[in-house]
Amino acid sequence: MSTPGRPAPLHPSGSWTVGLRDRLSRTVPAGQALPDRQPAYVASWIYVFGVLTLAALVVVIATGLVLSIEGAVWWHISDTGRFVNSLHLWSVEVFFAVMVVHLWGKFWMAAWRGDRALTWITGVLCFVGSIGTAFTGYLSQSNFDSQWISGQAKDGLNAVGIGAFFNVLDPAQMLLWHVVLLPLVVGVVVLWHIVLVRRHGVVPPIDAPEPPITTAIPPTPEGVLS
């Protein structure tokens, strides 16, 4: 309660809203969430694979959403469904291909330098979570392939106690993990990863000396995607 005769403070101390707003504004430096400039050393095709991974993930999710509209059996009985399933399958293959190149690129760049260890760790979590999500997709196909894969996979999961809770022989449970739980986890971790990338910026070259002052250099012919 404000004192009579004195104006109420603009931002009352203890405000959760102000606290959250300040926290969010401190998470990513101003202008870095959607930057229109990058450090001049960001000039290699290897950088493309991060955004390609993100783009492939968007295609994976979009095609998965279309499949989920008609249900789990649709793609077995409809040519359109089969084509959408093919889009989903191949987008996953592309997703993993570009993600692995991105991962190796970041390894050889030692991209964890400069307080970026958590960025690397969240990237690994994205990779592992994506493997689990794809695996449950293979178990949810309701065809010969899923019959065989589930029969083989159960032994590994049971051997370490996971199978008691995560039953690969139950396609209904696997489908829910595939379309709800794991995409949610992967989505959150991917978001976290992106925020960390924008927060810390692109890791400078190995052995790069401290730059004297920040200066802009003119555009190069390499342009976008370089």
Partner 1 sequence: MSATQTPRMRAVRATPDSHDFPTRPYDLVKEFVIALAVVSLLTVVLAAAFSSPDERAISLADWASAAPNDVVATATSELAGTSTSASYGAPYNHAADGQKLFFLSLQKWAGVRQPVDSANDLVVHPLQSVTGDGGLSSALDAWTSASADQRTTWATAYADALAKAPDGDPTQVTSGDFGPVPVMATAFLALARSGGLEQIITRESFYSADQTRQLLLLNDGTYIEDQARARNLGGDQWGMMNEVGNYPGQPWMWLYTFWYQVDPFKSSDNADALVWGLMMLLTVGLALVPFIPGLRSLPEKIPVHRLVWKDYYRRHNL
- Contacting partner 1 within 29-68 (CB under 8 A): 29, 32, 34-44, 46, 48, 51-52, 54-56, 58-59, 63
Q: CB within 8 A of 127, min separation 6: which ones?
A: 99, 103
CA 51/CA 197 separation, integer angstroms: 12
Shortest Å distance, C-beta 65 to partner 1: 14
CA 107/CA 101 separation, integer angstroms: 10
- Residue range at the interface with partner 1 (CB under 8 A); choices 8-16, 17-25, 103-111, 185-193: 103-111
Per-position x/- string for 134-163, each x denoting binding to partner 1 as judged by CB under 8 A, each - no binding? xx--x--xxxxxxxxxxxxx-xxxxxxxxx
CA 195/CA 191 separation, integer angstroms: 6
Shortest Å distance, C-beta 174 to partner 1: 10
CA 21/CA 137 separation, integer angstroms: 38
List strand residue ranges (DSSP E) for 76-201, in order: none
Shortest Å distance, C-beta 18 to partner 1: 26
**Range 164-183, binding partner 1 (CB under 8 A):** 164-165, 167, 169-173
**Range 3-22, binding partner 1 (CB under 8 A):** none
Contact yes or no for 189/122 (Cβ under 8 A): yes
Judged by CB, which is closer to partner 1: 4, or 115? 115
Report the SS3 class of residue 44: coil
Shortest Å distance, C-beta 10 to partner 1: 30
Q: Is 191 in the site for partner 1 (CB under 8 A)?
A: no
